[in-house]
Amino acid sequence: MTTTDRTLVCIPTYNERENIVPIVTAVLEMSPAVELLIVDDASPDGTGATAEELAKKDPRVHVLHRPVKSGLGHAYIAAFCWAMARDYDKIVEFDADFSHNPVYLPEMLVRLERCDVVVGSRRVPGGESVGWTLPRRLISLGGSLYARTLLGGAIHDLTGGFNGFRAEALLAVDYSTIRAQGYMFQVEIKHRAQRAGLKVEEMPIVFVDRTRGTSKMSAAIFAEAMLGVARLKLGRAWVAKPREP
């Protein structure tokens, strides 16, 4: 990071009390200059209260409480709005369950010096997913291939959730108008970045399946992604080939 950069790592949470203290500790140890925003969706297990205790002990930690659980996409949009209102230069998406290893954060921030968007990628040489069952691996690979086939572009890992953005890049993609949730939010924001002509770079990461807590993946989230990709494809085709007057 340059001396003037302000970086915010955004961590959405819902029932992550087991993970929130160790992940915040690990992120701050790996990148002491960053700040964190925990976006909690009224977790009934007390995640929000634990986050508040962390914030009281360390001024680098902030908490945004949302009244109900309304999806990953809405949580990130709320985090981005919070960051923009406070003039952060770099904003990073990060999971609370250690699927994203904090060891990769310093490299992502270095790459954001030369790029608009950096994608932590499981789909480029050196990247992989570990700890997944065969069915989940096939679903993930199939979903990624489906999205890339329909939408095109150079990004290999459209669904991954470890991503870094320059503040100007988020403004360029008009992030606040994204309505998608789950994996589809990740697909759409990257698709918009490509269409906006932003400089996007993928860096390899090893994604490790969570060992504590419960996955938020569901059939509804998967279905939204499948339908959402098709809608994006139709929208792009309409823009690219308008009807003759």
Tens digit of each residue's pLDDT (9 = 90 or more) over 100-111:
999 999 999 999
- Which pTM does this prediction carry? 0.86
* Per-domain residue ranges of the chain: 7-239
Q: Which fold has domain 7-239?
A: Spore Coat Polysaccharide Biosynthesis Protein SpsA; Chain A (3.90.550)
Q: Which residue has the higher pLDDT, 213 or 164?
A: 164
Average pLDDT (63-92) is 96
Strands 35-40 and 61-65: parallel
